[in-house]
Chain A
Amino acid sequence: MKTFLAGLSLLAMTGGSALAADYPVKEIQGIIQWGAGGSTDTVMRAVTPHAAEALGGNIVMQNKTGGVGAIALRYVQQQDADGYTLLMGAENPQMYKVLGLGTDDYTDMVPINVLARGVPMFVANNDAPYNSMTEFVEYAKANPGEVRVGSTGPGGLTSIVLAMLTDQEDVEFTRVPYDGDGPALTALQGGAIDVMPAVLGAAIEGVKAGRMKVIGLVDTQPNDLLPGVVPITEEIPGFADYLPWGPFFGVFVKKGTPDEVVAELQAAYAEGAKNPDFIELMEDRGFIVMSIAGDEAMDFLESYRSTSSWLVHDAGFSKKSPEEFDIPRP
């Protein structure tokens, strides 16, 4: 059996090197998990042309939406493992297994580059009678169920950040569902919801313009873009258990893609992510550029999955236990 496997991998490698010698010989398809105009879309469209240039090829990006991104992931997993189909996604797939949304996640793929990580924060309507996490928690405890919090579905950023909060403090909210942080932040400005945990980049412009206020920064250290806002760990020390944590964007290929091809893609995206325009763009929006691949990326993905899966499971809205998939408790 062992020799058979070795033979097989040898075969794959020789086949791969023949392939990789002049990779790419045709356009590469980049499947974007989310719709046009969203943050995943914007990040991917901002970095990919630089990466394509480094690769000396052509990467055609297409949006394939639906099923919380599971449709795109499944599509990529159904194609040949030849490096001609890339998945350009966000953090969602790491929750597919426990939420019963799909059978595969990023650990069943090969990371080309985990480009950047976002920092979550709590924003509130300007008229809300609280200005910090401490005040917010007090208010929520005094008025259980009164605070309307925007949510982006089970497993989304809001649900996980709220799970962290409810794990630490005994609070109750009314959760109003939105299909993305954009519409929810719009609703926040119009007063339809009171509080929204959102990624910094999505809310920063509104905060700068004074249309909403930050009441908590879900990170262990202060952020340059938010002067005067203390990290949440200073108000609720228990958050340190989960942090740093944040949504991320990454490029992935199917497992079994020839190593040479993976290496070429990794080099190309690493080069693309170094582009000053891209870095400036990400920093302006409060994203932390990571540009990691290989084991480092795997560790990051694994840690995200384990923290989030168990949070979701303990909060009681998982479909399956993380244990079923051998996801270790953090």
Chain B
Amino acid sequence: MDTLLALLTVFTQPQLFLLVGLGTFLGVYIGAIPGLSVTMAVSILISFTFSWDVYPAISLMVGIYMGGVYGGSRTAILLNIPGAPSAIATAMDGYPMAQRGEAGEAIGVTTVMSFFGGLVGIAVLALAAPFVAEFALTFQPRDYMLLAVLGILLVGSLSAGSLLKGIFAGALGIAIGAVGRDPLTFAERFTFDFQIMEGGISFIAVMIGMFGISEALLQLHHVGAEAMRQKIDRIVPSWSTVRKYLPLSLQTSSIGVIIGALPGTGGDIAALMAYDHAKRVTKKPTRPFGTGAMEGLVAPETANNAAVGGAFVPMMTLGIPGDAVTAIMIGALFIHGLNPGPMLMVDQPQMFWFIVGALLTANVFILICGLTGIKLFTKIVEMPRAVLIPLIMLLSVVGAYAVNNSVTDVYWMLGFGVFGYFMRHYGYPLGPVILGVILSRLLDDNWRRAIISEREDLGAFSAGIFGSPLSLTLLLVVVAIFVSQTPVYAMLKSRISKRAADQA
């Protein structure tokens, strides 16, 4: 009974309900603008809501978090510039749809599927949080490393052109991620003895440059071209459309929750893995992937919203942040006089259920905010390019600066923008670069931790992998995916299918 009351707190107090709604609404816009991040918004809210009670403060933060994760898809679809790292995969099929004038449909499906993914995440949080949290804790450094290797294999599905160029791009990404003072040993890496290189390269700056600036520079080739008129008459997808993608979205949401719940991995990796998964399991996509496949839109969007619920799992049960935003929320709870940790669930279960309720509310508001106001967004794409291009460039500069209040980041952003422009011209895929940067630390740190724990003994290291069911499973998945990408597999497959055809 208490549980139900706590769950319903948000609904019984109109003030909280409206704050969640306001948060979600703002979150959509914050998420949509590259450079304005949820992390940033939530940490500003700590000061802003300093004198408030804890419930209203958390309501607003939860709303912004949910809305922000969803909002990243907007600019990804409309401008090919992901508003947040977790929307990179969304751009790959969402933008081609906008190019065909189907932005409205794309946004509609994205919204409904984000809602669904969010729901799955919340359901797991509400029903199974303690179990999932214990499971997440069993991940050892070697498991994280295998997870990173798994992620790196996604390069194959992110580079439809030349796989070789994809590999180069992915490796470059990992190298970019290593720049600066190594956080584990403080050794300088790729700094060339320049002080400004010590802090490393902000990966948001790389993303904004590669997607924002290089896209704007490419668009310069077609300044005069008429913008595509967007059809926005059928935004809400039909029930049959939604039903068609339900099985896939259930799978991708599960990926999202698990990856989200692991401390150290978040919605960005989840979305890319889900995209890869969709590419693998979908036999007949609506269109080939990369040219506007609905499945390519559904997968990352369900996964990154499901990851929100996932990120709250270790936060609420153990006081361990699932990602950067939940880390700040732990700080917020602390400032508001609570003691976030494993005892929170025991001492103050109502806080847990209140957050579940707030997340549910925010999720409903996503439907409302998402399905309305699309007209305004599509107007942005229909703006004359002569205005749009300079504005994208300016926003990229401001956004890159805002990440760490650093002019250095602006220079990096511009540099990678120009570099990305050439990469696009010569057929080097950009996705793997970002993938590499995201995975760099995960791979590097955990490889070192794993091998140090075994005292540099590769034998003990492999024994560890084969001795643990979790590690072994991950290894088998890695091997399976790797084999499926090599020519041997394709040869085998064609031979088998040929034999099948002969027999028939």
Chain A residues in the interface with B (C-beta under 8 A): 35-38, 41-42, 45-46, 48-49, 61-68, 70-71, 74, 99, 101, 145, 148, 153-155, 174-179, 182-183, 186-187, 189-193, 204-206, 208-209, 211, 277, 280-281, 284-285
Contact = CB atoms under 8 A, between A and B. Distances in A.
Interface string B324-350: 100111110011010111111010000
Contacts of B337: 277, 280-281
B39 A36 contact: yes
Contacts of B330: 37
Given A42-B334, A277-B337, A192 B140 contact: yes
B331 A45 contact: yes
Interface stretch (B22-30, B43-51, B55-63, B237-245): B43-51
A67 B198 CA distance: 6
Nearest to A37: B327
A66 B342 contact: no
Interface centre among A61, A66, A145 (most CB of B within 10 A): A66
Contact of B453 (A45, A148, A208): A148
Given A66-B181, A174-B455, A205-B340, A37 B331 contact: yes
A183 B335 contact: no
B452 A182 contact: no
Given A37-B328, A41-B331, A71-B198, A49 B185 contact: no
Nearest to B449: A176
A74 B195 contact: yes
A190 B341 contact: no
Given A71-B199, A176-B449, A99 B186 contact: yes
Given A46-B335, A277-B337, A205 B185 contact: no
A298 to B, nearest CB: 27
Contacts of B497: none
B180 A45 contact: no
B406 A64 contact: yes
Contacts of A145: 455
A190 B186 CA distance: 26
Nearest to A60: B47
Contact of A36 (B43, B137, B140, B195): B43
Contact of B183 (A63, A179, A277, A281): A179
A187 B318 CA distance: 12
B199 A179 contact: no
B231 interface: no
B319 interface: yes
B198 A70 contact: yes
Given A38-B327, A41-B43, A176-B452, 7 more contacts: A36-B324, A64-B404, A64-B405, A71-B198, A74-B195, A208-B343, A285-B334
A186 B140 CA distance: 10
Interface string B182-211: 011110000000010011100000000000
Nearest to B42: A36
A42 B50 CA distance: 12
B68 to A, nearest CB: 14
B268 to A, nearest CB: 17
A153 B147 CA distance: 24
Given A66-B200, A71-B199, A281-B337, A179 B453 contact: no
Interface in B368-392: none
A191 B138 CA distance: 8
A179 B445 contact: yes
B101 to A, nearest CB: 40
Interface residues of B, number: 53
Contact of B331 (A42, A68, A189, A204): A42
Contact of B263 (A45, A183, A205): A183
A62 B321 contact: no
A210 to B, nearest CB: 8
Given A45-B331, A176-B452, A178-B449, A186 B341 contact: no
13 contacts: A35-B324, A41-B328, A46-B334, A46-B335, A49-B50, A66-B199, A70-B181, A71-B406, A154-B185, A174-B453, A186-B137, A205-B343, A209-B346
Interface string B311-327: 00000001111001001
B186 A192 contact: no
A68 B186 contact: yes
Nearest to B184: A177
Contacts of B263: 183, 186
Contact of A192 (B42, B318, B341, B449): B449
Contact of B318 (A41, A189, A277): A189
Contacts of A41: 43, 328, 331
Minimum-distance CB pairs A-B, first 5:
A205-B341, A66-B199, A37-B327, A209-B342, A177-B184
Contacts of B318: 186, 189, 206, 211
Given A175-B452, A192-B449, A211-B318, A66 B180 contact: yes
Interface centre among A41, A42, A74 (most CB of B within 10 A): A42
Nearest to A284: B339
A145 B404 CA distance: 40
B46 to A, nearest CB: 5
Contacts of B319: 205-206
A318 B214 CA distance: 44
A101 B186 contact: yes
Given A153-B185, A178-B449, A190-B139, A63 B404 contact: yes
Contacts of A284: 339
Nearest to A100: B186
B124 to A, nearest CB: 20
B339 A205 contact: yes
Contacts of B139: 190
Interface string B222-266: 000000000000000000000000000000000000000001100
A36 B325 CA distance: 9
B141 interface: yes
A101 B186 CA distance: 8
B199 A65 contact: yes
A70 B197 CA distance: 12
Given A174-B453, A211-B342, A284-B339, A154 B141 contact: no
A145 B344 CA distance: 36
A45 B185 CA distance: 29
Contacts of A38: 327, 331
Nearest to B346: A209
Contacts of B329: 37
A174 to B, nearest CB: 6
A273 to B, nearest CB: 15
Given A205-B339, A205-B343, A209-B343, A67 B180 contact: yes
A3 to B, nearest CB: 37
A211 B341 CA distance: 10
B129 to A, nearest CB: 15
B406 A187 contact: no
Contacts of B199: 65-67, 71
A38 B50 CA distance: 17
Contacts of B342: 205-206, 208-209, 211
Nearest to B319: A205
Contacts of B137: 186, 189-190
A276 to B, nearest CB: 11
Nearest to B141: A192
B344 to A, nearest CB: 8
A41 B324 CA distance: 13
A62 B342 CA distance: 29
Interface centre among A99, A178, A280, A285 (most CB of B within 10 A): A178
